[in-house]
Structure 1
Amino acid sequence: MKIKGNSKRGLTGTTMGFFFGFAAVALYGPTAIKFKEAMDLTPLMLGLLIAIPALSGSLLRIPFGAWVDTTGGKKPFFILMLLSVIGLGGVTLLLATNYPHGLEGLYPLILVFGFLSGCGIATFSVGIGQTSYWFPRNKQGLALGTFAGIGNLAPGIFSVVLPIYLSYYGFISAYFAWFLFLLLGTLLYGLLAVDAYYFQYRRKGMSGEHAKEKAAQKGQEMFPLGGVKDSLINSAKIKNTWALVALYFTTFGGFLALTAWFPTYWGIYQEFEPIKAGLFTAIFSIFASAIRIPGGSIADKLGGEKVAMLSMVAILLASSILSFGHSITISMIAVLLLASGMGIANAAVFKLVPVYVPKAVGGAAGWIGGLGAFGGFALPPIMGAIVEGYGHIGYARGFVAFVVLAAINLFIIYLLLKNKAKADSVLKMA
């Protein structure tokens, strides 16, 4: 019985697929003004158009993440990539045949294609589960940090490359190029990705127990329990799943929110030119993603809870500085500190998933990745409301939202450590 792949190949496939998955949503924000002009969109309609890919990209993480526990990650991951190809391909075709004067009346269809495009970033929770089953617990932090860190580099890289491409080749050409890029990535993922040994043995017809035994002989440590519904229900019953959701809401949801917010902050509050504002935003995005990789290794050595606590302290301090400071130099230092805290905390959170929810990793990854990423939608309106209340200075005061969230999360981490200490004490007494 031939079994394919190894942990290195498994990690390479998911990381590459997640990176390519961002291609389908990279264009919506920077090119939104083109849709507004062509279809005479209201601010609300334009906001919905920009947000719709991220909506599917967050909420679909929940069911697709749970699906990993029944079939392995390759099938749900590939389906999400194909849906993303359909979405971006549909928008590209509409632009090629109807832009600029023929788009009126096509807004609902564009929203549908936008929703499908977001499926590419919903692959995150699938990749988390798929990667987790490949690695032993003592290497989870580094493996998941590498997967998420490299994959999350895409928004920052695209924010630098896209303006240059648009200036040379134009609006519609960019959509064709990004569509081909996504299609290539989907094909490469289909060829390279492979599920962990247990799922391969199950597809060969082995019983669950026999498949576990054979996979364990090859080094696999983690195994699922139940189906999609079971995975979601089992993980939802564990209260620590919701503690991790709260942490990830602040760190990854905050990462998404600030990637969208910083161009406004640098442009309006610090009065930067658009290109400079985009560059400074890219620095935040790339740094937060890149530091996630060593963050996973640090979490392996020091423990996810302790690393998350230190990260939250960094987020609280950086947000406080940004809330009340105006100096560009100090603000930039605070942004790098904020990026460090968010990136390292993101790695630490998913280091804790297999620790607290070992029998429903996919389901937990779905809840955490999906509801956590929803922070990318919830936080910008809160910061916008603060701007409305305070005026120009509100662009700085809006960071108070992260001060509050960091303080709440420090208390949550304290409770996690306290409960863990109690559990360890009980085990020792037994």
Structure 2
Amino acid sequence: MGGRWIERWEPEDETFWREQGERIAKRNLLFSVISEHIGFSIWTLWSVMVLFMGPEYGIDPAGKFFLIGTATFVGALIRIPYTFAVARFGGRNWTIVSAALLLLPTGFAYVVMEPGTSYGTFLLVAALTGVGGGNFASSMTNINAFFPLRKKGWALGLNAGGGNIGVPVVQLIGLLVIGTAGAAHPRIVLGVYIPLIVVAALCSALFMDNLAPVKNDTGAVLEAVRAKHTWIMAFLYIGTFGSFIGYSFAFGLVLQTQFGRTPLQAASLTFVGPLLGSLIRPVGGSLADRYGGARITLWTFVAMAAATGVVVYASVIESLTVFLVGFIGLFVLSGLGNGSTFKMIPAIFLAQGHRKGLSGEEAEAYGRRLSGASMGLIGAIGAVGGLGINLAFRQSFQTAGTGTSAFVAFLAFYAACIVVTWAVYLRRPAAVPDTAEGAATEPQRGYAEV
């Protein structure tokens, strides 16, 4: 698979960007979004499949939460090798492969999705859907290389937001099937996606490009692993993306379990939150470009804590209406935070380059190296937050019959995110070492603009 290779790529050169770079980058962004969109749909497939699994399947709510948690966990882990695959095989080439791999979990689910199938088989097929989660990491790493720093917030936000919309789309398709054919026909949902996967792979082959200058840099990976900012941003990304993907998997099941909604009633509500959260993600990136990602991220976490308080109150008084207001608010805010936190990553490492005494192209090259190397790890750890959310719900429903205690735990986590964001990126002077090994000997400027 030789593919189309671009040997010279200098997006920070304004003349190059204006004359040819922008057109090529936007074309690759478009088809990257299509592939990532379907990847997200397959990754979150079991958030829909569990709505079809009535009593005849013999699986209790705890078992269903574990199914969707398994898909979340595998999708998180696989993001790390997917990140390095772009430089190893080329962005276009790997997009073709990663799209084609989606046929594996979709085809197997089509075969086994019926009462009488063993729980272990369902667990295996749910694990296979994790390949859809990996698409995000490779797509974001690829698109990060195509765009100049001043456009990264917009481009990464649009790429991720377009991919995230795959979550509500598969849920809408599930709603359509349940509402028309009934809850006994989950294979129709799977049948819709098999040809779409083929189309995505073909479009990637026909319209995308590989960037020859993008190489795996072992030194950059090791430096990113040692850098405290990688781990700090991974922690914050658990709060934003981990929340989004965890709630996306769990929303319909929570409505069924805690509020007694039927599959059709749950499906008619499930897609709303992920849709709004996906649509607003590019807005989060754009606001971060304009006002600084740290500021937007801080106030997003403040608002998420408030929305979680509303959800806890609604759980206590057993009000579905108030619960929906708070929960959908969490989706919107997590989407906003997704855009702002991911914009922070390249800006932070550019600032780190300046703190090391670099300037101009040297600082920009350092920022690209470290941000590209850290994105896969940050994305993987952030996605593990989705597993934590589903395990918390599983435990909460097992012990108390409601999700209230899980939401209290989420509230405490958002409070920790608020403190970390302020202390590291907005407090002045910023007392953050350049790497895990050492600290700056003199006070350094803050990171409020990242």
Which bracket does the TM-score occupy, shorter chain normalised?
Answer: 0.7 to 0.9
For 1:79 and 1:324, how far apart are their aligned partners in 2?
A: 46
Tell me if the contact between 2:62 and 2:394 (Cα under 8 Å) persists in the aligned partners: no
Kindly provide the CA deviation profile for residues 218-237 of structure 1, in whole angstroms up to 9, marking residues without a partner as x.
xxxxx66x53x444322211
Q: Which runs of 5+ in 1 are unaligned?
A: 203-222
Q: Which residue of 2 aligns with 1:181?
A: 196
Which of 375, 379, 383 is the equivalent residue of 1:373?
A: 383
Query: Of 303, 328, 343, which aligns to 1:314?
Result: 303
* CA-CA distance at 1:241 after TM superposition: 0.7
- Give the match's secondary structure for 2:46: coil
Cα distance, 1:329 vs. partner? 4.3
- CA distance, structure 1, for counterparts of residue 178 and residue 257 of structure 2: 23
Contact 1:66 1:365 in 2 (8 A): no
- CA–CA separation in structure 2 for the residues paired with 1:80 and 1:112: 19
Q: In structure 2, what is the equivalent of residue 295 of structure 1? A: 284
> CA RMSD of the aligned region, Å?
3.2
Aligned residue in 1 for 2:356: none
**Deviation of residue 346 (structure 1)?**
0.6
The answer to whether the 8 Å contact 1:66/1:364 transfers is no
Partner of 1:232: 221
Q: Deviations over 1:177-216 (max 9, x none)?
A: 2222222222222322223xxx23x5xxxxxxxxxxxxxx
The residue identity in structure 2 corresponding to 1:190 is A
Find the residue that maps to 2:209 and give its secondary structure. Answer: coil
**Deviation digits for residues 131-171 of structure 1, max 9, x if unmatched?**
11111111111111111112111111221221322454533
Consecutive unaligned residues in structure 2, runs of 5 or more: 7-19, 350-366, 432-439
Contact persistence 2:396–2:404 (CA under 8 A): no
User: Mean Cα displacement is larger for which, 129-138 or 332-341?
Assistant: 332-341
| Counterpart-to-counterpart distance in 1, 2:322 and 2:336 | 21
Select the residue among 143, 155, 173 that pairs with 1:143.
Answer: 155
Q: Report the counterpart of residue 357 of structure 2 in structure 1.
A: none
The answer to whether the 8 A contact 2:105-2:126 is kept is yes
Q: Deviations over 1:91-143 (max 9, x none)?
A: 33456xxx666x56xx6666554433321221111111111111111111111
Residue 400 of structure 1 corresponds to which residue in structure 2? 408
Say if 1:116 and 1:81 are closer, same or farther in 2 by CA, change over 3 A.
farther
Q: Residues of 1 paired with 2:136 and 2:220: CA distance?
A: 17
Q: 2:174 touches 2:267 (CA, 8 Å); kept in 1?
A: no
**Does residue 241 of the first structure (1) align with residue 230 of the second (2)?**
yes
| Separation in 1, partners of 2:28, 2:393 | 39
Query: How many pairs does the alignment contain?
Result: 394
In the TM superposition, residue 403 of structure 1 has moved relative to its aligned partner by 1.3
Is the 8 Å Cα contact of residues 23 and 179 (structure 1) preserved in structure 2?
A: no
TM-score (norm: length of structure 1): 0.80
CA 1:270–1:52 in structure 2 vs 1: closer, same or farther (change >3 Å)?
Answer: closer
Which residue pairs with 1:194 in the alignment?
Answer: 209
Confirm or deny that 1:77 pairs with 2:95.
yes
Which of 127, 132, 148 is the aligned partner of 2:144? 132
Per the alignment, residue 57 of structure 1 pairs with 75
Q: Are the equivalent residues in 1 in contact too, given 2:43–2:75 (CA < 8 A)?
A: no
The CA deviation at 1:82 is 2.1
Q: Deviations over 1:52-71 (max 9, x none)?
A: 43332111101211333455
Q: After superposition, what is the alpha-carbon deviation per residue over 1:309-367, rounded to whole angstroms, capped at 9, x for unaligned?
A: 01001001111121123444443332343223211111111101112342133331111
Instruction: Point out the more displaced range, 136-145 or 44-53.
Output: 44-53
TM-score, structure 2 length as denominator? 0.77
Equivalent in the alignment of 1:255: 244
Q: In structure 1, what is the equivalent of residue 270 of structure 2?
A: 281
Deviation at 1:386, TM superposition (A): 3.6
Instruction: Pick which of 255-264 and 68-77 moved more.
Output: 68-77
Matched position secondary structure for 2:48: coil
Provide, for residues 232-264 of structure 1, a one-character-per-residue CA deviation record: whole Å limited to 9, x for no partner.
322211111111111111111111221233324
CA contact (8 A) 1:20 1:186 kept: no
User: Which one-letter code corresponds to 1:279 in the other structure?
Assistant: S
The percentage of counterpart residues that share the same residue type is 23
Corresponding position of 1:337 = 329
Quickly say closer, same or farther: Cα 1:56–1:80, change in 2 above 3 A: farther
Preserved contact between residue 53 and residue 117 of structure 1 (Cα < 8 Å): yes
Cα distance in 2 for partners of 1:110, 1:152 equals: 24
8 Å CA contact 2:66–2:390 kept in 1: the answer is no
Q: 2:10 maps to what in 1?
A: none
Distance 2:60 2:219 in 1: 43
